[in-house]
Amino acid sequence: MCYQKKVDLLVLGAIQNEAMLRYYIGSVARKISRRPPCSLLLVTKPNKNESGLNSIVISGIDHPKTSNTIDMALNFSKNFNSNEVVIVEEVRPSKVKTRIEDDLTLEKAFEERENLKKKEDKRINQIIELTKNDSLKSNIQLKCIFGKVGYSIGHFAEIKNADLLVMNSPDKKLGFLDRFFPHDLEYILSDMPCDLMIVHPN
Range of the domain at 143: 2-199
**Domain total in the chain:** 1
Indicate which CATH number applies to the domain containing 188. 3.40.50.12370
57/87 Cα distance (integer angstroms): 6
DSSP string, 154-165: HHHHHHHT-SEE
Q: Identify the CA nearest to 38 among candidates 1, 71, 87.
A: 1
For each of the chain's 202 residues, which pLDDT tens digit applies? 555 667 788 888 776 665 543 443 345 566 777 677 788 888 887 665 555 788 999 999 999 999 999 999 998 888 888 889 999 999 998 898 888 888 898 899 999 999 999 999 999 999 998 876 665 666 799 999 999 888 999 999 999 999 999 999 887 655 444 444 445 777 887 788 899 999 987 6
pTM of the model: 0.83
Residue 195 and residue 44 in contact, taking contact as beta carbons nearer than 8 Å: yes
Q: Which helix (H) or strand (E) holds 167?
A: strand 164-168
